[in-house]
Amino acid sequence: MTGPARRNPIARAPEWLTALFGEPAKKFLSQADCEAVAARARGFAQGGGVTRLFVDSWWVGELRWALNRVSLASDRRNDELLLSRSIHGAGGLVTTNQIDDVSLEGAVRAAERIAHYQATNPEELPETPPRFDYLKTAIWSDATFGQPSSDRTVAAQRIIAPAEQAEMVSFGFLAVQAAGHAVIDPALGRPLYAPYTAAQCSMTVRDPQGVGSGWAGLSSYDWARIDPEALARRALEKCLASRHPVTIEPGRYTVVLESQAVHDLIRFVVNKFYGREEAERIPSPFHLRQNFSKLGLQIANGRITITQDPADPDLGVLPFSDDGQPVGPVTWVDHGFLTRLAHWRDYALKWLHENEPVVNRWDYRMAGGTTTVEEMIRSTERGLLVTRFSNIDVLDNDSLLMTGVTRDGLWLIEHGKISKAVKNLRFTESPLFVLNSVDMLGLPERVFSPGAPAIVPPLKAHDFSFTATIDAI
Amino acid sequence: MRVTRRGFLEAGTTTALLASVPPWLVASLPGRTPGRGGVVPPVTDADIRELALRAVDAARGAGAAYADVRLTHMYRRSIDSKRSVSDTEEMAVGVRVLFNGYWGFAAGPTWTADEVTRLGREAAAVAKVNAGGKPRFVELAQVSASKTGHWETPIRIDPFSVPIDEIMDFLMGINVYVGEAYPGIGTQTGCQFTRREEAFASTEGAYLTQVFTTTGAGLGILLENAPQGEQNGIGSDLLLPAARGWEYIRDNDAALRAEPSRLAAILEADWRLPWKPVDVGRYDLILDVAGMGGLLNATLGAATELDRALGYEANASGTSYLDDPLAMLGELQVASPIVTITGNRSAPGALATAQWDAEGVRPTDFALVKDGVLIDYLTTREAAGWLKETYAKRGMPVRSHGCANAQSALFASMLFPPNLRLEPGKEDTGLDDLVAGLDRGVYVRDLRLGVDFQQRDGWSVGGLFYEVKGGKRVARLAHAGLLFRTTDLWKALTALGGPKGFRWTPAGRTKGEPAQTVSYSVGAVPARFKQQTIIDSWRTA
């Protein structure tokens, strides 16, 4: 193979690179950086057509601890580039994380070579510049970006201390991320760029004898909105209260699901809002019959409303999809009725005579009520309080029947009070069943969901199906 | 799974074929790549050594007691018979530093002298910040291996040196052949290659370079004459990804051409068997190689990771029921006496095979379970130190088994399974012999498992369950599932297939925070178990 001149990694870095990684090192690529990379890539293009560049350039600062001691502190960055060349509808796509001239030219040539193998597509939709409106979103936090690694150390010490004092052991992870996401596609009329931050903190506190375990966690774009010490108290309380669980018979139980447990199930439903075409064509949870989806039909209890809104100040998501399509406010489920399913722009143009696609960014807000978890417990004659679910597998894609286990705190409720810690149970149930058997809804709150923020209420539901006891604690 | 013809044709091979491949494999293996050869020097180049040493020097200069650096350069390419190609290149450099018992790590994509120096200092800085608190002790097990060297996956033909056109012609040739030889069978083919060049240097004076190559091919068929409601498509497991070159595919041309009719025969044999509701109860059970590999990987393979056993994964991928090494090692019966499980990084063609691990340790083959008794754990240099007293008590040396690995240099190395091997039985029996010897019971093809976060209790989430009577499959059991307790299942193993039934299959593990995924191979044989619980897995309470 012959290629362009070999890049010698020891040679003095070119000026633009020195500018990027001088002292102090830049943590991620700016809008100007991304546009400059795209311009250089376009300069290498041969044979006409369109050059598109998608960039996710990120930095993370992380801290992990185990057995009450920090086990790893890290500082990492990467530039993930997707470069596509499209000539008469034939496209080629390559992925790289190198932005020097030699690598970029190599990537452009590789994309063109791949495009060359593809048939041209005369039916390709005309590249009419869309008139999209992109929402302004709250996804940047200086507190997250500016956090020095010593802050993570202090946070970890404060998280570990109460567990150690109580002679329990703490394990956990906290991370802050700052990144720039760019979509540079001539068809969009302008380069899109969004800087964003993300933060997460989660921990498991265990009894050293292995007889109890508690968990707490939270994620947000804004580190300042995470209270590590409050999480530490919660995980420790759960651990202490979960010790020496007793075995109960599996069966159908009224359940009080904390918001994290609700999210663990409902995220599978939200993922299915993706794909209106799929729902019309093939058996899936929202497929009615050949060529018809369940749009317009009731799929959940009348109190269930699930929405997505990038401008929601509590969610914090990018205002555009990975390929630059606008992410708008969407009501997926409105008072129990399925009102929207995601689809691509070509589907919108072809079948709906609309310009804009409906994009599912996986983030969501589930509307709730005003009942507190304590009130839910008080109103329960016999039931179970669930902290969270784990190890979930879908058994039947058509009904979303799934199985998984409870984890880090499961308690029996008797006569309106928590009576005892019980051993974990395996469930076999569909989240759609839960959405139809809701009795009470609590105040929606942020949950631990890195990458796809979610605001979810705790809820009480009846007849949740537990099928086996498990010994894991 | 039923695939529509349109969906099958539209999705392209990668999607259609990989539908039968576990998701972690899709995440870790297929991809795109270079062809822009010569852009970066090969890993043996003196310039790369220079870069690596600079990073180590920077960390040492910043006060590190120990530091290592890894540089990884990865290419991935996938090509399918729909003329779809994808290429990925990823370069990374990561520096890991130990300072007063605290680890720091810094990584990035840029291979320049200034940047690796910055990373060396940064890793030392983040480690130091934590070292001011309570004491933490790390004792790295001694490394006895060579300090310098180079190793490559033994291959005959570098898949990246083969022109894309030649590969496409090869793949399309199979489709055309099958289309003519077997009307009614639609075929899709695809293949995927990876090459990972790695350099490792440490403050102990090691400088090691390796080149890992993997090759795999997928083949899927769609039968046009499938009866309504029956499974009409199936993927091949003939050439699953392995540490091989292009010859792995090219030399198996004849077998690949025969594969569609073999797969069609499997589906057609299934259609002839009636569906039956499952009669819940206890049955003797036979699992095939894929099922046994999955079982070994999900249960004993995960439970013997020492970091997991001591709780390090409690907030991530879970803990282990083998959580008391001091009491359990050499004492605990974890499986039937006919079960011996070993680990290695030496098996030809297996995905974790390497000359050195991600800490520069030269791995040796070792036993985890011997005659059903737990005798060792998977270890790294730090993890081996955790078992110092236990090993001393048992008169065993404190040494790493070479299980350090990482997805790429963007991730700090941690403990991952090596190639795991369930040793075959003495009698040379295969799957068919086992089934023929079963008077009444259940045989499961391609079992997929779920286990809890301590690998104690498990259940099936997929697989085709057959009722067996008088040594023959007589019916398919609708929605049947398996429910088991790990220790009980392994102890109930009564017969193992022999050497002729042995095969390696790719496996993967996702663990850690941040989560990273590493591939390796699991070698297994089919096996028979007595009296296992068969349930209706779709039944709710």
Distance CA(B268)–CA(B224), nearest Å, equals 12
For residues A348 and A311, membership in a common domain is answered with yes
Q: Does A460 share its domain with A311? A: yes
How far is it between the farthest Cα atoms of chain B? 73
Class of residue B52 by CB neighbours under 10 A (exposed 0-12, middle 13-18, buried 19+): buried
One domain, residues B261 and B315 = no
Question: Sorting pLDDT into bands at 50, 70 and 90, what band is A321?
Answer: confident
Identify whether B206 is part of a domain. Answer: yes
- Which residues, including other chains, have CB under 8 Å from residue B367's CB and lie 6 or more apart? B340, B341, B342, B343, B375, B376
Q: Are residues A437 and A463 in the same domain?
A: yes
Does the residue A306 lie in any domain? yes
pLDDT in tens, B6-55: 443 343 333 333 333 333 333 333 232 333 334 578 888 888 999 999 99
For residues B235 and B291, state if they share a domain.
no
Quick one: B170 and B291 in the same domain? no
Render pLDDT for B232-254 as a digit per residue (tens, 0 to 9): 999 999 999 999 999 999 999 99
The residue of chain B with its CA nearest to that of A399 is B538
Span B299-314, pLDDT tens digits: 999 999 999 999 999 9
> What would the pLDDT profile of B209-224 be if each residue is shown by its tens digit?
999 999 999 999 999 8
Task: Identify which has the larger pLDDT, B527 or B541.
Answer: B527
Structurally, chain B folds into a number of domains equal to: 2
Which residue in the set B107, B108, B127 is minimally distant from A73, CB to CB?
B127
In a domain, B541, yes or no: no
DSSP B244: -
pTM for this entry: 0.92
- Find all residues with CB under 8 Å of A15, minimum gap 6, and list them: none
Q: What is the pLDDT of residues A77-107, one digit of tens each?
A: 999 999 999 988 888 999 999 998 888 999 9
| Whether the predicted pLDDT of B100 surpasses 70 | yes
Q: Is residue A220 part of a domain?
A: yes
Per the domain annotation, does B275 fall within a domain? no
B202 residue type, one letter = S
* Tokens, residue A466: 């537990």
Scanning every residue of chain B, which has its alpha carbon at the shortest distance from the alpha carbon of A407? B453
Q: Tell whether A131 is covered by a domain.
A: no
Residue-level pLDDT at B538: 92
Instruction: Give the pLDDT score at A227.
Output: 97
Give the closest of A71, A103, A281 to B103, CB-based.
A71
CA distance A73 to chain B (A): 5
pLDDT tens digit sequence for A429-456: 999 999 999 999 999 999 999 989 999 9
pLDDT at B5: 40
Beta-carbon separation of B315 and A171 below 8 A: yes
Who among A75, A109, A393 is closest to B450 (CB)? Answer: A393
Q: What percent of chain A has a predicted confidence (pLDDT) above 90?
A: 73
Asked if B457 and A470 come within 8 Å (Cβ–Cβ), the reply is: yes
Closest CB to A21: pick one of B85, B114, B453: B114
Number of domains in chain A: 2
Taking the C-alpha atoms of residue A153 and residue A148, their distance in angstroms, rounded to an integer, is 9
Statement: residue A325 has pLDDT above 90: no
Residue A129 has pLDDT above 80, yes or no: no
**Do the Cβ atoms of A407 and B33 come within 8 Å?**
no
B6 — alpha (psi -120 to 50), left (phi > 0) or beta?
Answer: alpha
Asked if residues B13 and B188 have their Cβ atoms less than 8 Å apart, the reply is: yes
Residue B119 has pLDDT above 70, yes or no: yes
Same domain, B509 and B368: yes
Instruction: Report pLDDT for A322.
Output: 84
Sequence-distant (6+) residues with CB within 8 A of B373 are B330, B331, B332, B333, B334
One domain, residues A332 and A459: yes
pLDDT at site B144: 73
**Cβ contact B39–A70 (<8 Å):** no
Determine, for residues A25 and B36 on separate chains, whether the beta-carbon distance falls below 8 Å: no
Give the confidence band of B529 by pLDDT, cuts at 50, 70, 90: very high
Instruction: List CB contacts (< 8 A) between A175 and chain B.
Output: 513-514
Judge if B306 and B237 occupy the same domain: no
Within a 10 A sphere around the Cβ of B282, how many other Cβ atoms? 12
Domain final residue, candidates B270, B289, B304: B270
CA gap A361, A452 in Å, rounded: 7
* Domain assignment of residue A252, given as a range: 245-473
- From B222, B238, B270, give the residue that closes a domain: B270
Is B354 within the bounds of a domain?
Answer: yes
Average pLDDT of every residue of chain B: 90
Question: CATH number, domain at A69?
Answer: 3.30.2290.10
Q: Do B194 and B228 share a domain, yes or no?
A: yes
Taking residue B446's Cβ as centre, other Cβ atoms within 10 Å add up to: 16
User: Is there a domain that residue A135 lies in?
Assistant: no
pLDDT at A124: 62
Residues in a beta bridge with B281: B534
Alpha-carbon span B130 to B375, nearest angstrom: 35
* Residue of chain B with shortest Cα separation from A13: B112
Across B408-444, b (16+ Cβ under 10 Å) vs e yields bbbbbbbbbbbbbbbbbbeeebbbebbbeebeebbbb
Q: For residue B311, which residues of chain A lie inside 8 Å, CB to CB?
A: 66-67, 169, 171, 206
**Which has the higher per-residue pLDDT, A328 or B285?**
B285
Q: Quickly list DSSP for A60-125.
A: EEEEEEETTEEEEEEEEEEEEEEEEEEETTEEEEEEE---SHHHHHHHHHHHHHHHHHSPP-TTPP
Among the partner-chain residues B51, B130, B456, the one whose CB lies closest to the CB of A10 is B51
Domain boundary residue among A198, A228, A258?
A228
Are residues B288 and B255 part of one domain? no
Cβ atoms within 10 Å, residue B516: 20
A234 in a structural domain: no
Minimum-distance CB partner of A102 among B39, B94, B514: B39
Q: Which 3 state secondary structure label does DSSP give B217?
A: strand
Contact B452, B484 (CB under 8 A): no
Is A440 a member of any domain?
yes
Q: Which residues of B fall within a CB distance of 8 Å from A466?
A: 541
Residues A162 and A22 in one domain: yes
Q: What one-letter code names the amino acid at A155?
A: A
A292 and A180 inside one domain: no
Model pLDDT for residues B368-399, shown as the tens digit of each residue: 999 999 999 999 999 999 999 999 998 999 99
Which pair of structure tokens corresponds to residue B385?
């130190």
Task: Clarify whether residues A62 and A165 are in a common domain.
Answer: yes
My answer on whether A211 and A348 are in the same domain is: no
Chosen for mutation from B50, B321, B540 (greatest number of chain A CBs closer than 10 Å) is B540
Q: Hey, how many other C-beta atoms are within 10 angstroms of the C-beta on B102?
A: 25
Same domain, A223 and A160: yes
In a domain, A266, yes or no: yes
For B249, the enclosing helix (H) or strand (E) is helix B247-250
Kindly list the residues from chain A whose CB atom is less than 8 angstroms away from the CB atom of residue B315: 171-173, 202-204, 215
Q: Distance between CA atoms of B410 and B120, rounded to whole angstroms?
A: 14
Distance from CA of B437 to the nearest CA of A (A): 31
Q: Which residues of A fall within a CB distance of 8 Å from B410?
A: 76, 78
Q: Which residue has the tokens 């019980």?
A: A422
* Residue A1 placed within a domain: no
Whether B174 maps to a domain, the answer reads: yes
Per the CB < 8 A criterion, the answer to whether B504 and B242 are in contact is yes
Q: Minimal Cα distance from B163: which residue of A?
A: A1
Comparing A345 with B426, the larger pLDDT belongs to B426
| pLDDT tens sequence across B131-168 | 887 889 899 998 876 789 999 999 999 999 999 999 99
Predicted pLDDT of residue B14: 36
Contact A181, A196 (CB under 8 A): yes
Banded model confidence at residue A150, pLDDT cuts 50, 70, 90: very high
Residues A304 and A453 both lie in one domain: yes
Rounded CA separation A44/B438 (Å): 66
Of A240-244, B197-201, B323-327, B510-514, the range with the lowest mean pLDDT is B323-327
Phi, psi of A45 (to 5 degrees): -65, 145
A391 CB neighbours in chain B (<8 A) are: 318, 450-453
Q: Do B200 and B137 share a domain, yes or no?
A: yes
Contact B513 A404 (CB under 8 A): no
Of A17, A105, A149, which is closest to B112 when you measure between CB atoms? A17
A424 contacts in B (CB within 8 Å)?
452
Q: Is pLDDT at A6 greater than 70 in this prediction?
A: no
Q: Residue A93 corresponds to which tokens in the numbers above? A: 């796509």
Query: What value does the mean pLDDT take over residues A186-192?
Result: 87
Closest Cα of chain A to B351: distance in Å?
23
Nearest to B87 among A23, A114, A468 (CB): A114
pLDDT in tens, B448-485: 999 999 999 999 999 999 999 999 999 999 999 999 99
pLDDT band at A26 (very low <50, low <70, confident <90, very high): confident
pLDDT confidence of residue B24: 32
Beta-carbon separation of B459 and A403 below 8 A: yes
Q: What CATH number does the domain containing B105 carry?
A: 3.30.2290.10
Residue B410 CA to residue B514 CA, distance in Å, equals: 11
Q: Give contacts of A157 with chain B, Cβ < 8 Å.
A: 133
On whether both A50 and A77 belong to a single domain, the answer is: yes
Q: What is the pLDDT of residues B399-413, one digit of tens each?
A: 999 999 999 999 999
The residue type of B228 is Q
Cis status, amide bond into B514, omega within 30 of 0: yes
DSSP state of B348: T
How many Å lie between the alpha carbon of A428 and the closest alpha carbon of chain B?
6
Which of the four pLDDT bands, split at 50, 70 and 90, describes residue A132? confident
Look over chain A and give the mean of its residue pLDDT values, rounded to a whole number.
Answer: 90
CA distance A87 to chain B (A): 15
- The position carrying tokens 């999955």 is B294
Domain edge (last residue) among B241, B270, B299 = B270
Q: Are residue B302 and residue B448 in the same domain, yes or no?
A: yes
Separation of alpha carbons B381 and B401, rounded Å: 8
Q: Are residues A182 and A215 in the same domain?
A: yes
Gap between the Cα atoms of B196 and B241, Å rounded: 14
- Rounded to the nearest angstrom, the minimum Cα separation between A67 and chain B is 7
Task: Tell me the residue range of the domain where B217 lies.
Answer: 5-270
